[in-house]
Amino acid sequence: MIKQRIIIFQQGQQKNTEILEDSKNFILLNLTIKNYIMKIFAQFYILGEQSKQLVEACGSDSVLLLDSRLNVSNCLDIAHNHIKMLNNRLGKNYKAYAIFQGKTFSRSERITSIYNI
């Protein structure tokens, strides 16, 4: 078995990665792909009780993780159908939604307008 060391430069960070090679397989070790994938999600909105303005809802049902391989139009369709299901079946009172993209929830940006239902 042959061992090789390679260095991966990703987003300004250097990572040493070891590749083990045998006759048929390459195995990549010590690299977490999930740290480099942009996350895309739908954020749902409710009306604030006092302000009557749209505010981001809280809780596990207030966001919908989406497949980042989908285009924005498909993400909007999925979010729209999901919010209608939450409102009809679970009695939620969501009023709008938007699509966000980023590395984490707190480090994301809205990539669409806010759509009312």
Are both 48 and 78 inside the same structural domain? yes
CA 39/CA 102 separation, integer angstroms: 5
Long-range contacts of 88-92 (CB under 8 A, 24+ apart): 90/61, 92/61
- Helix or strand run (H / E) with residue 109: strand 108-110
User: What are 7-53's pLDDT values in tens digits?
Assistant: 444 444 444 444 444 444 444 433 344 445 678 999 999 999 999 99
Range of the domain at 10: 2-34
Are both 66 and 102 inside the same structural domain? yes
Are both 42 and 81 inside the same structural domain? yes
- Helix or strand run (H / E) with residue 110: strand 108-110
Are both 7 and 55 inside the same structural domain? no
Domain count along the chain: 2
Are both 21 and 59 inside the same structural domain? no
Are both 23 and 42 inside the same structural domain? no
pTM beyond 0.75: the answer is no
User: What are 73-115's pLDDT values in tens digits?
Assistant: 999 999 999 999 999 999 999 999 999 999 888 999 999 999 9
